[in-house]
Amino acid sequence: MSRVDDLPRRTPAAAGTLPPARRLPPSLAGNPTLPYPAIGRELSALRLQIPGVHGCVLGGVDGLLITHNLQNEANPDDLAALAATMFGLGRQVGFRLGQGDFQQSTVRNENGYLSVYAVSRQALLAVVGTDSINVARLHLHAPDTAARLADLLDGVTPATP
């Protein structure tokens, strides 16, 4: 877990020293070489498998939307950003408690759920569902979908920044 050291710490910097510029991998969002039809099939399959799923959003850990199949009025760009926020919180918890990489985070509200699953180091899968959804089934199926999405995203040539 050496990546703990990469995180910004709340320590005062010595005067006159600027931290080195952070080097991030190019965003997956907007990459035209991604296998979008295959990704779309995975997202649809998950929605069909579990009644009550409104749709899925595949987003980057940078908060940018890759693709989605939402069927309600929710804004996919907002959800991709929210997913990255939930990932950020989960990752911090993982680091601070020494519990390893982020896997899954679920928010349950009065009328529904938002679950975020880790797909790869760079991507997240967010699933929106109604309150009556069978969450246990979602938790059984979504990690498999995430693993297949990871395979689809793996080996894609990075977009030129």
Residue 5's alpha-carbon distances to 39, 98, 157, in angstroms, are: 34, 13, 28
Size of the residue set binding other proteins (CB under 8 A): 6
Beta-bridge partner residues of 116? 105, 126
Which has the closest alpha carbon to 141: 37, 34, 52? 52
Decide: is 91 part of the binding site for other proteins (CB under 8 A). no
| Residue span binding other proteins (CB under 8 A) among the ranges 5-13, 34-42, 92-100, 136-144 | 136-144
C-alpha 30: how far from chain center: 16
Binding mask 5-24 for other proteins (x = CB under 8 A): --------------------
Binding mask 96-135 for other proteins (x = CB under 8 A): ------------------------------------x-xx
Decide: is 140 part of the binding site for other proteins (CB under 8 A). yes
Which has the closest alpha carbon to 83: 108, 110, 64, 101? 64
State which residue, 122 or 145, has the beta carbon closest to other proteins: 145
State which residue, 67 or 134, has the beta carbon closest to other proteins: 134
Decide: is 89 part of the binding site for other proteins (CB under 8 A). no
Decide: is 4 part of the binding site for other proteins (CB under 8 A). no
Joined together, the tokens standing for residue 61 give: 């850990």
State which residue, 95 or 117, has the beta carbon closest to other proteins: 117
Tell me the pairing of strands 112-118 and 123-130. Answer: antiparallel
| H helix or E strand, kind and range, residue 112 | strand 112-118
- Do the Cβ atoms of 116 and 89 come closer than 8 Å? no
Please state, as a whole number, how many other Cβ atoms lie within 10 Å of the Cβ of residue 138: 23
Decide: is 136 part of the binding site for other proteins (CB under 8 A). yes
Residue ranges binding other proteins (CB under 8 A): 132, 134-137, 140
